[in-house]
Amino acid sequence: MDWIILNKLHQDWISILIFSNLILLSFTKWRYDRKFTSFFKSIDPSVYFNNYGNNFFFNRFFGVSIFIFSVVNVSLFLIFILDYLNLIEKIFFEFLILFSFLFSIGFVSYFTSTLLGGLLGVRRQTLAYNFNNLRFIFRTSLFIFIILTIHHFYFFNTFLLLNTTFICVLISYYLYSIVIIYNFLEDLNKGKFYFILYLCTLKFTPWVFIYWFIKYI
């Protein structure tokens, strides 16, 4: 299958975004080398928390940079998908809307889960849940980043590449959800009512935002 270098002068913003994200990732890896490696490889979140503390998300540069890197990649990937389906144009303004939307969902989900976890007395489980979520999103976005780079700078079968990637991400998400819910349920000692309330808040809140976004934007 032939690969042809693409000249996309009218889409320079995508190239700039990809290179900027690469710089952000490289700087984060360089600045927080051990922390980065531990975050990426740690199986048990408690090991990471014991070494680096549990304030790993929005109140620390490391967590923020990882989250921004992830949301940029996911947003850009969705832009490629939606553009391929002729639902939107591949322009920077559309990307900004999608990025802001996904960032807001992550932001609200994190603080909602943290607040509810504190109220229900399951703060430790909440920390582990948020940690595993961010790590899964980051790992997935790293895979997406590689695919996007290949797709943008080289011509490859768009249908095959984007659809295969989308299916792989979707399958990974559902498998991850099953595992994380099972582990959360095993670790929770507050009864089924609290579990259902907690899970509904975590899983349904993003879909409320999606419904609102589709209806009013």
Q: Is the pTM of this model over 0.85?
A: no
Provide the greatest CA pair distance for the chain.
58
Residues 114 and 125: their CA atoms lie apart, in Å, by 10
Burial of 197 (0-12, 13-18, 19+ CB in 10 A): middle
Residuewise pLDDT in 10s, the chain (217 residues)? 444 444 444 458 888 899 999 999 999 999 888 888 888 776 677 777 777 666 656 557 888 899 999 999 999 988 888 888 888 877 888 899 889 888 888 887 777 777 777 777 767 777 777 888 888 889 899 999 988 888 887 766 666 777 778 788 878 877 777 776 666 666 655 555 455 555 555 555 555 555 555 555 5
Q: Are 81 and 162 in contact (CB under 8 A)?
A: yes
How many CB atoms are located within 10 Å of the residue 17 CB?
Answer: 21
The one-letter amino acid at 171: I
What stretch of H or E contains 177?
helix 158-187
Residues 34 and 155: their CA atoms lie apart, in Å, by 36
End-to-end, the C-alpha distance of the chain in Å comes to: 40
Q: How many residues does the chain have?
A: 217
- DSSP class of 59: T
Residues 118 and 112: their CA atoms lie apart, in Å, by 10
Q: Are 130 and 113 in contact (CB under 8 A)?
A: yes
Which residue(s) pair with 155 in the sheet? 4
In our burial notation (b when 16+ CB lie closer than 10 A, e otherwise), range 126-150 reads bbbbbbbbbbbbbebbebbbebbbe
